[in-house]
Amino acid sequence: MTKVKKVLLLLKNMVYESTSPQETLKFAKYYRTKGLDVLVILWGPMGVLLAKKDKTRGSPK
């Protein structure tokens, strides 16, 4: 049996102020607490807005 070590989360086609970013970040945080390496890919123009410096609305702390 192979042990999972890494997780890829793809966030794409999100609507402004949708719950999709929060859900994706929640999963990323959960997987990190389990010791997994997490890679989140932000795809499209809304991903760029989410990735802007100092953008914290909706992100888990």
pLDDT tens track for 18-54: 667 778 889 999 999 999 999 988 777 666 666 665 6
| DSSP letters spanning 14-48 | PPTT-SHHHHHHHHHHHHHHTT-EEEEEEESHHHH
Select the more confidently predicted residue: 3 or 15: 3
Q: List the chain domain ranges.
A: 6-51
What confidence score (pLDDT) does residue 28 get?
Answer: 92
pTM of structure: 0.62
Residue 6: beta bridge partners? 37
Neighbours of 46 (CB within 10 A): 19
